[in-house]
Amino acid sequence: MMYLWIVLALLTAAVAVALLLPFARSASAAASGVSNARRSNSTRSGEVEVYRDQLREIDRDREGGLISTEEAENARAEVGRRLIAAAAENDQDNTGGFANRKHRIATALVTVVPPALGLCLYLSLGNPGIPDQPLQARLENPGNNIALLVTKVERHLAENPTDGAGWDILAPIYLRLDRAGDAELAYRNAIRFIGPSNARYSGLGETLVVANDGIVTDAARQAFEQAVKLDPNDPRSRFYAALGLEQGGRKDEARAAFEELASATPADAPWKGLLDEHIVKNGGVPVAAKPVAPSLGGPTQEDVAAAQDLSQGDRKAMIAGMVDSLAAKLKDEPDNIEGWLRLVRSYAVLGDEAKARDALSTGLAQFPPDGNDGKRLLALGKDIGLDADASPAPGGARP
């Protein structure tokens, strides 16, 4: 422990010297000037008094008629010029004392304040009495130190490279630490040594997406498809698998995958709107996941079943008609919060942002934003990409 304090003291002294060197140079120059100034200070002070006496003598000569007014003014100008020059030199000689004071203040600040501040921080945040711990001792008791935990597992895997459980532990930690390459290796080793699972294939796919700046490569899509095979109810893997088809230009397959996922998604799921957007993007129409109460003008179970047998254009027209019916109902029943929520979401699903914005504004006029119902409308607006003022906002919900 004593060696640490010696090293810290030497470092502090080195930093102080580096910081004070410029001040020391200027101070030495100033000190040299001060010594010279002291020797000549009395002489220059005498010169100033001589010039002042000459000015008074010129005034007496002019008043006595010994010299003309013009001669007096010329003489005063010349003596005045010399007086100003001598006074300026005298003032400049006196600045050395200020330079010395500035150097002393800087020395005190640099040598006292940083060590004192560092000592106070160490005493309040550190533990001066704890003995030194070698790396091995810290690895045996890493506590909540993620870096030590990772190092401990990495050392274990260096000696036991076929330990799949160790790779399984490291993989998601690597991903959170933005070490995508290490995370991919860890997921593949975990799959190799302890077998496939939905979580491992899903994690591998997500890692590959992160490593490729959001692009679902063929390898990532295949990993998500393997995850779906192991757990068909995993919406995240199903979404990314469909997104991979979309990014690969396979629009029909992507639309079918998004429609299948949307039909199994609850209507109030935060990613339902995003699924509908991708369905429309790939040439389809939103899938009704849950019937709306008939009293609100929404589709019944029979309407949904009938819509499945219609052409795309007829289905879209049918949905638009039901949304218009819902809007008309809300004019007569404006205090129906569920109706406003459905109307805003319906317009957003249909891609009519202007009507969605108007519906959100009208709903917020009926239900103030500071109330519970108003907060539900605000949350919905944020969820579908409209801000609190019912104007477009970047981004949207993600599954």
Walk along the chain (399 residues) and give the pLDDT tens digit of each residue.
Answer: 446 666 666 777 776 666 666 655 655 555 555 455 455 555 656 676 776 777 788 777 777 777 777 777 777 777 677 767 766 666 555 554 555 666 667 666 666 666 667 667 666 666 555 555 554 544 455 555 677 778 878 888 899 999 999 899 889 989 888 899 999 999 999 999 999 999 999 999 999 999 998 899 999 999 999 999 998 888 889 999 999 999 999 999 999 999 888 888 877 777 788 888 899 888 888 876 444 444 444 444 455 445 555 555 555 666 677 777 788 888 888 888 888 888 888 887 777 888 888 888 888 888 888 887 888 888 777 777 775 454 433 333 334
Contact 294, 300 (CB under 8 A): yes
Work out whether the CA dihedral 75, 77, 83, 85 comes out positive or negative.
Answer: negative
Structure-block tokens of residue 346: 């319906």
Q: Which among 165, 187, 163 is positioned nearest to 174, based on CA atoms?
A: 187
Beta-carbon contacts of 210 under 8 Å, excluding residues fewer than 6 positions away, are 175, 180
Is the Cβ–Cβ distance between 75 and 89 less than 8 Å?
A: no
Rounded-to-integer distance, Cα 276 and Cα 351, Å: 10
Q: Residue 161 carries which DSSP code?
A: T
What distance in Å separates the CA atoms of residue 237 and residue 34, rounded to the nearest whole number? Answer: 80
User: In the beta sheet, which residues pair with residue 392?
Assistant: 386
Count of alpha carbons within 13 angstroms of residue 361, beta-carbon side? 10
Cβ-proximal residues to 213 (8 Å cutoff; 6+ apart), any chain: none
C-alpha closest to that of 151 among 143, 163, 139: 139
Q: Specify the DSSP class assigned to residue 295.
A: G
Tell me whether residue 359 is exposed, middle or buried, using C-beta atoms within 10 angstroms of its C-beta: 0 to 12, 13 to 18, 19 or more.
buried
pLDDT, residue 393, reads 38
Beta-bridged to residue 287, according to DSSP, are none
pLDDT at 92: 55
Element (H, E) at 372: helix 372-384
Helix (H) or strand (E) holding 249: none
Q: How far apart are the first and last CA of the chain?
A: 53
Identify any residues that bridge with 386 across adjacent strands, giving them in sequence order.
392
Helices (H), 195-311: 198-211, 218-230, 235-247, 251-263, 272-281, 301-308
CB-based contacts of 137, cutoff 8 Å, min separation 6? none
| C-alpha R_g of the chain | 41
Cα–Cα nearest to 217, from 258, 184, 195: 184
